[in-house]
Amino acid sequence: MQLKKLKTKFLGRNSIYYKEIDSTQSEIWRLIQSKTAPNGTLVFADIQTKGKGTHGRIWHTDEKGDIAFSFLIQMDCNVKKLEGITIEIAKIIIDILEKQYQIKLEIKEPNDIVYKNKKICGILTETKVVSENVKYLVVGIGINTKKQHFSKDIENIATSIKKEFNIDINTEEFISEFCNRFEKQLYERIEY
* CATH level 2 (architecture), domain 16-187: 2-Layer Sandwich (3.30)
The confidence score (pLDDT) of residue 36 equals 93
The confidence score (pLDDT) of residue 71 equals 98
Q: Calculate helix-pair angle for 85-101, 171-189, nearest 10 degrees.
A: 140
The confidence score (pLDDT) of residue 155 equals 82
The confidence score (pLDDT) of residue 4 equals 85
What is the spatial distance between Cα 92 and Cα 147, in angstroms, rounded to a whole number? 22
Contact 88, 185 (CB under 8 A): yes
* Whole-prediction pTM: 0.93
Residue ranges of domains in the chain = 16-187
pLDDT tens-digit profile of 31-60? 999 999 999 999 999 988 877 665 556 665
In this prediction, residues 79-106 reach a mean pLDDT of: 97
In this prediction, residues 98-102 reach a mean pLDDT of: 97
pLDDT tens-digit profile of 133-176? 999 999 999 999 998 888 788 888 999 999 999 999 999 999 99
> Taking 90 as the threshold, does the pLDDT of residue 11 lie above it?
yes
Question: What separation in angstroms does the CA of 112 have from each of 6, 74, 125, 156?
Answer: 25, 24, 12, 15
3-state helix, strand, coil in the chain (%, to 5): 30, 35, 35
Mean pLDDT of the chain: 91
What is the spatial distance between Cα 85 and Cα 124, in angstroms, rounded to a whole number? 11
In this prediction, residues 122-129 reach a mean pLDDT of: 95
Contact 160, 120 (CB under 8 A): yes
The confidence score (pLDDT) of residue 191 equals 73
The confidence score (pLDDT) of residue 57 equals 61
End-to-end CA distance of the chain: 28
Residue 169 identity (one-letter amino acid): I
Shortest CA distance to 134 belongs to which of 82, 187, 182? 82
